[in-house]
Amino acid sequence: MKSNYLLIIFLFLSTLGFAQSFDLAGIVKEKGSGLPIPGVNVQIKNATKGTATDFDGKFSLKGIPSGATVVFSYLGYKNFEYKVISNNMTLSVSLQEDAKSLEEVVVIGYGTQKKRQVTGAVSVVDSKTLEILKPVKIEQALQGTVSGVNVTTTSGAPGAALDIRIRGIATNGQNGPTTIIDGYVGELGLLNPNDVESITVLKDAQAAIYGTIGANGIILVTTKTGKKNAKTKISLNTYTGFQETSRTLPTLNATEYALLLNESYANGGKALPYPNVSGLGKGTNWQNEVFNTGVPIISHDLSISGGSDKVTYAVSGSHLDQEGIIGGSKSGFLRNTARVSLGADLSEKLKLKTNVIYTYFNRKSLNENGLASVLFNALNIPSTLSPYNSNGDFTLAPTTGLGIEIINPLAQIANTYNDYNFKKLNGNFGLDYKIFKDFVLSSSMGFNTSNSKSRSFAKEINYGGKVFDVARSSVSQNAINDNDYSFDIYGTYTKKVGEGHNFAATIGNTIYKQWGNGLFATGYDVPNNSWDFADISLTTGILNAKTNGSYSYDERRLSYFGRAQYDYKGKYLLSAMIRRDASTKFGPGNKIGYFPSFTAGWVISDEGFYGESNFINFMKLRGSYGTLGNDQIPNNGYISQLTGEATYVFDGALVNGSASGQIPNPDLKWEEARKFDVGLDLKLFNDKVSIVSDYFIDTRADLLIPNIPVSGIIGISAPGASAPTINAGTVRNSGLEFSIDYKNKFSDNFSMSVGYNVTFLKNEVLEVNNGTGFIEGGSFGVGQPAPSRMEVGQSIGYFYGYKTDGIFQNQEEVDARPSQLALGANAAPGDIRYTDVNGDNVIDVKDRTNIGDPIPSATMGFNLQLNYKNLDFSAYTFASVGNDMVRNYERDVTDANHFRYVLDRWTGEGTSNSVPRVTTSSTANTVFSDYFVEDASYLRIQNIQLGYSLNPKYAEKAGLTKLRLYAGVNNLYTFTKYKGYDPGASNGAPIGGGIDYGFYPIPRTYMVGLNINF
């Protein structure tokens, strides 16, 4: 009987033991910063029961079996496991960042892929980098952070465009990459940087999935979305700052100018213009007059995001207001954006995703980068002139000695009136339907619709016989509407066969359409000669010539694409893709193009023979080859259209009519890019060091070259007409990319991240089949031949002019050298000595040769981030080596001001062998030569920033999850020997780029900001 009682007691206790369960609660924080992490998955291991942390990082989980293990997991952090052994536990969990997880998934176009399995040349910029750099325009964040990518400014003016080049300049046409925003074609420069989660750059044949729009590379942008099972998160990012010019050029003051001008007139045998220079002093520093200091810039950004187990949402709005460092209210940029992102699981099989962005901006601008620019006038107008005369009116610059181009730049600013407004709505709607376990059907419709209006007013004004004089006031107004949409539908099938065979296949179809129209008109005789009345409806004057115009267009593209991917145990990686595009930009027989590509990879470190290594943790060899296309040319180039203007004589009177526009070419076809790449990826020292290196060859064939020289008798010189576009060239870019990153967390208080990347590039033209063997571009001075060329054996856009050989020191040297009379004047002591390149003992046009290259031979970036307790510091730099630039901001008229380097001019034998004499006599010193070509290599400190984050325990008391205050400087300093404003600027032209007409400098910006998360 006793034994039965013991058995009953044992069974009862056993039942209690088996039935016993515990409750667990606590908070999950980020290790190091101590910030709570919302949305962390808290799951009982090998069970379905679980929960997620709330907005404050807190969780509660009941009914946990005794001895069970609870797993804490969150993307980007290492999993944490905890074994439950007692009841009513309050736990504090610290999750540590996992660099491998952060880089796990990469967007590759119509899908994603694990980073370790990517076989193409792909680079990623994340939101943390964008947060540090604080770019006004998001393109700026690619400079120095991504190897193989070079971003140049066309101007430092607010709202000015930026040019992106991926692996060099491959064509004399459109060289910019295509931007895909959440799956649809968009415009990178219009995005609010705080809306972007990541930027992925496809540089090689991996981009072939996009066919005809991928030849110049693809930039994939992923915008921020809400997270599932997360409470509402409110983020406020704001900064304010002030701007100033990053550089002024050293011009002569009034006394120096007068003395130099006296010498110039004396050398020319003329009377001295300034017999008495005493009392002139320093005169007017015109750059100080046009450049403003303390120019404000303000940015505000507010976002709200969150989600439940079925729905995610993100809503944001931003405001940017930037004034220009030149012109005050006449120069500025204002941008407002609003965005809504929504994701919903409509069922277990059907998912909805949508993202809509509204952008509005207003831009006012001044005349830039040319003979008519404000800076050109500020640099060349004499310092002896004052801004205002005794009556308080703007001083007029004389025509004698200054020509008809140079005017008072302050008067030019005051009399500049223009306004540009732009509105755009774009986005996409998508559905994913899981038809069965391994097959998902995806569809997406992307759209862009924009409307812009511009108005410019030419005031009736007299500058004293200058080209800027306006005899009749006028107002010009434009209205443009542009639209496009794309519809993508594709299926993705994934299958695992056996132990290690993994297959994925994607097949789909894209429909793309662009259409729009524009209307242009000009009205004359504006009432009261005033901007306030500058509207065509109020004008009263008429002209005999046509003063209005319009256009419309409708272009379409139909595409089919497929991709197959295979890997064996993640070690051997293969991918093949093909795209078929049909475009209305080409005529019958040439509409369709096929673009195949292949990529492969081998994860060597996964091989058994490799063994365990404490030094090399990961090694992958990869390669790719493929063909991509380019159709970025004007519409309807294969047919003849009446888009030109013409004047005809009927009954003895002139009558306005229409004429043929561009000469047609029915044989136009795709421009083709053949891309080869081989790369090596390494991770060393417990993943602390990452190395990526690539060797690439990009050959662009059948270049679409516009304005091919043809006989003038077929009417190419008529207004609106132009020469035809033909396929007539081949260009090759080859080079090496290398990047290395080091990340280490030395302690809970201190961590560091250091990155360096470099790209070596060689550009060579292989063919120019246009009848002349070369293509010219750019301009230099007034009335001189084009200074840039595209020619076989040279880099595209190289500088073509005369080589110099010092300065003639005496008449004997002049007599001993070939005559330079063919250049415009006989040489004399003190003049530039030119090289007889062809050895025919005459200096003439046949002696022109390669005198410089605007394409850098190497570009590199060095970036540093430090974190110590609550302090953080970052610095980003960029360098360009081997690029030349033409100094073309100096007017060669006799009385223009000069730069201080002329103080080292030749004044007698032995005084100088680099700077020629000054004289009013005719010389050949101003012809285009390497005297005007300078090494524009530079190193720029792009950004430095110091931040402080409030201790989380104090932030929590205020109801905040994050509060960070920071101060920073953008464009801190540029180290260069180049004399101009910006050695990194370019007008964007492949042939004619690198010619400095007085580039508007990029401002230096000092800012303070605040990041707050609720």
pLDDT tens-place string over residues 719-740: 667 778 888 899 999 999 999 9
> Are the C-beta atoms of residues 546 and 513 closer than 8 Å to each other?
no
Rounded average pLDDT over 90-110: 75
- Check residue 784 and give its pLDDT: 92
Q: What is the pLDDT of residues 333-375, one digit of tens each?
A: 999 999 999 999 999 899 999 999 999 999 999 988 888 899 9
The proportion of the chain whose per-residue pLDDT surpasses 90, expressed as a percent, equals 66
CA 678 to chain centre: 26
Give the integer Cα–Cα distance in Å for 328 and 325. 7
Residue 98: predicted pLDDT: 66
789, 631, 162, 429 alpha-carbon torsion, rounded to 10°: 180
Residues forming a β-bridge with 70: 44, 82
Residue 15 has a pLDDT of: 42
d(C-alpha 941, C-alpha 862), whole Å: 9
pLDDT confidence bin for 101, thresholds 50/70/90: very low
**pLDDT band, very low/low/confident/very high, at 19 (cuts 50, 70, 90):** very low
Give the pLDDT mean for 652-662: 74
Number of C-beta neighbours around residue 526 at 10 A: 25
User: Which own/partner contact pairs does 400-404 have at CB distance under 8 Å and 24+ positions apart?
Assistant: 400/895, 401/273, 401/893, 401/894, 401/895, 402/893, 402/895, 402/896, 403/891, 403/893, 404/465, 404/466, 404/467
Q: What is the pLDDT of residue 598?
A: 96
Nearest to 948, CA basis, from 1004, 1008, 863: 1008
Lowest mean pLDDT among 7-16, 99-108, 248-257, 789-798: 7-16
pLDDT of residue 540 exceeding 50, the answer is yes
Percent of the chain residues topping a pLDDT of 70: 95
pLDDT in tens, 412-443: 999 999 999 999 999 999 999 999 889 999 99
Distance CA 879, CA 856 (A): 10
Element (H, E) at 266: helix 254-267
What gap in Å lies between CA 628 and CA 209, rounded to an integer? 9
| Chain centroid offset of residue 293 CA | 26
Non-local CB neighbours of 149 within 8 Å, separated by 6+ positions: 123, 142, 143, 164, 165, 166, 201, 203
- Identify the H or E element spanning 215: none
CA distance 900 to 47: 79
Q: Which of 23-32, 287-296, 823-832 has the lowest mean pLDDT?
A: 23-32
Q: Give the integer Cα–Cα distance in Å for 242 and 338.
A: 25
Report how far residue 72's alpha carbon sits from residue 78's, in angstroms, rounded to the nearest whole number: 9
Q: How far is 40 from 79, CA to CA, in rounded Å?
A: 10
- Minimal CA–CA distance to 171: which of 670, 759, 676? 670
Instruction: Dump pLDDT digits (tens) for 133-167.
Output: 888 888 999 999 999 999 988 888 998 888 899 99
Q: Is pLDDT above 90 for 705?
A: no
Q: Using 50, 70 and 90 to split pLDDT, how confident is the model at 800?
A: very high
Closest to 892 measured CA to CA, from 920, 852, 930, 934: 920
Q: Closest by alpha carbon to 902, among 921, 922, 919?
A: 919
Measured between alpha carbons, how far is 936 from 383 in angstroms, rounded to an integer? 27
Comparing CA positions, the residue from 220, 218, 223 lying closest to residue 197 is 223
For β-strands 726-727 and 295-307, DSSP reports them as: unpaired
Name the residue with tokens 């990517």. 118
Per the rule left: phi > 0, alpha: psi between -120 and 50, beta: everything else, 987 is: alpha
Tell me the pairing of strands 548-568 and 572-583: antiparallel
Interval 508-517 mean pLDDT: 95
The predicted structure's pLDDT at residue 712: 63
DSSP state letters, 577-603:
EEEEEEETTS-TTSSEEEEEEEEEEEE
- Tell me the three-class secondary structure of 907-959, residue by residue: CCCCCCCCCCCCCCCCCCCCCCEHHHEEECCEEEEEEEEEEEECCHHHHHHCC
Is residue 99 pLDDT above 60, yes or no?
no
Alpha-helical runs (H) found in 585-733: none
**What is the dihedral angle through the alpha carbons of 883, 884, 886, 887, rounded to the nearest 10 degrees?**
100
Choice between 172 and 392, residue whose per-residue pLDDT is larger: 392
Amino acid at 644: G
Q: What is the pLDDT of residue 606?
A: 86
Q: Residue 741's pLDDT is what?
A: 95
Of 900 and 645, the one with more pLDDT: 900
The pLDDT score that the predictor gives to residue 6 is 47
pLDDT class of 632 with cuts at 50, 70, 90: confident
Pairing mode of beta strands 149-153, 122-126: unpaired
Beta strands in 406-473 (DSSP E): 417-436, 439-458
pLDDT attached to residue 772: 84
Residue 702 near residue 671 (C-beta atoms within 8 A): yes
Mean pLDDT of 200-228: 92
Q: Is 633's pLDDT higher than 90?
A: no
pLDDT at 10 over 50: no
180-193 average pLDDT score: 91
Residue 7, pLDDT score: 46
Neighbours of 592 (CB within 10 A): 13
**Residue whose C-alpha is closest to residue 1000's, from 412, 378, 295, 395:** 378
pLDDT higher than 70, residue 875: yes
Query: Strand ranges (DSSP E) for 702-728?
Result: 704-705, 726-727
Nearest to 728 by CA among 786, 640, 668: 668
pLDDT computed for residue 269 by the predictor = 94
CA-wise closest residue to 630 among 70, 954, 169: 169
Find which of 418-432, 609-623, 699-713 is predicted with most confidence, using mean pLDDT: 418-432
Which tokens belong to 858? Answer: 């190497």
Q: What are the tokens at 742?
A: 């080091």
Residue with more model confidence, 705 or 994: 994
Query: Do strands 689-701 and 548-568 pair parallel, antiparallel, or not at all (unpaired)?
Result: unpaired
Phi (first) and psi of residue 189, to 5 degrees: -70, -15
- In the three-class reduction of DSSP (H, G, I as helix; E, B as strand; rest coil), residue 606 is classed as helix
Q: Length of the chain in residues, anyone?
A: 1014
pLDDT (tens digit per residue) in 29-54:
887 667 778 778 888 887 767 788 87
Condensed to tens digits (0 to 9), the pLDDT of residues 928-947 reads 999 999 999 999 999 999 99
Rounded-to-integer distance, Cα 151 and Cα 141, Å: 9
Strands 58-65 and 729-745: unpaired
Average pLDDT, rounded, for the chain: 90
Q: Which two tokens stand for residue 964?
A: 């960070």
Confidence (pLDDT) at 9: 45
- Cross-sheet strand order for the sheet of 184-186: 122-126, 196-202, 218-223, 178-181, 184-186
Examine the pLDDT at 66 and tell me if it is beyond 50.
Answer: yes
The yes-or-no verdict on residue 209 having pLDDT over 60 is: yes
